[in-house]
Amino acid sequence: MTDPILEVEDLRTEIQIDGRWLPVVDGVTYSVRPGETLGLVGESGSGKSVSAMTLMGFVGRRRGQRLSGHASFRGQDLLGMSERDLGKMRGNDIAMVFQEPMTSLDPSFKVGNQIAEGIRLHQGVSRDEAMRLAIEAMDKVRIPNAKVRADSYPHEFSGGMRQRVLIAMAIANNPALLIADEPTTALDVSVQAQILTLLAEMRDELGLAMIFITHNMGVVADICDRVAVMYAGQIIETGEVRETFADPQHPYTERLLASMPRLRGERRQLEWIPGTPPGPAGFAEGCRFAPRCTHARDVCLEPTTLLEIGGGRANRCTRDVEWKEEVAG
Ligand SMILES: Nc1ncnc2c1ncn2[C@@H]1O[C@H](COP(=O)(O)OP(=O)(O)OP(=O)(O)O)[C@@H](O)[C@H]1O
Ligand SMILES: [Mg+2]
Q: What is the pLDDT of residues 302-320, one digit of tens each?
A: 999 999 988 899 999 987 6
Strands (DSSP E) along the chain, which ranges? 6-17, 20-32, 37-41, 65-73, 76-77, 94-97, 177-181, 209-214, 226-231, 234-240, 307-310, 313-315
Counting from 1 in the atom list of ligand 1, the atom nearest the Cα of 230 is: 21
Determine contact, residues 47/30, Cβ cutoff 8 Å: no
Q: Which pLDDT belongs to residue 139?
A: 92
Counting from 1 in the atom list of ligand 1, the atom nearest the Cα of 182 is: 27
Residue of 49, 181, 229, 256 to mutate, ligand 1, most atoms within 8 A of C-beta? 49
Q: What is the DSSP string of 80-132?
A: TS-HHHHHHHBTTTEEEE-S-HHHHS-TTS-HHHHHHHHHHHHH---HHHHHH
Residue of 16, 22, 40, 46 to mutate, ligand 1, most atoms within 8 A of C-beta? 46
Counting from 1 in the atom list of ligand 1, the atom nearest the Cα of 279 is: 29
Average pLDDT over residues 7-30: 96
Domain boundaries, the chain: 6-93+175-328, 106-174
Phi/psi zone of residue 51: left (φ > 0), alpha (ψ -120 to 50 degrees), beta?
A: alpha
pLDDT digits (tens, 9 = 90+) for 248-264: 999 999 999 988 766 55
Q: Which pLDDT belongs to residue 324?
A: 46
Q: What is the CATH number of domain 6-93+175-328?
A: 3.40.50.300
Using CA atoms, how far apart are residues 43 and 58, in angstroms rounded to an integer? 21
pLDDT digits (tens, 9 = 90+) for 127-174: 999 999 999 999 999 999 999 999 999 999 998 899 899 999 999 999
The verdict on the CB of residue 26 being under 6 Å from ligand 1 is: no
Q: Which pLDDT belongs to residue 321?
A: 62
Kindly report the protein residue whose alpha carbon is nearest to atom 10 of ligand 1.
Answer: 24
The verdict on the CB of residue 282 being under 6 Å from ligand 1 is: no
Residue of 24, 217, 234 to mutate, ligand 1, most atoms within 8 A of C-beta? 24
Strand pairing report for 313-315 and 94-97: unpaired
Quote the ligand 1 centre to 104 CA distance (angstroms).
19
pLDDT digits (tens, 9 = 90+) for 60-70: 999 999 999 99
Quote the ligand 1 centre to 263 CA distance (angstroms).
31
Quote the ligand 1 centre to 230 CA distance (angstroms).
12
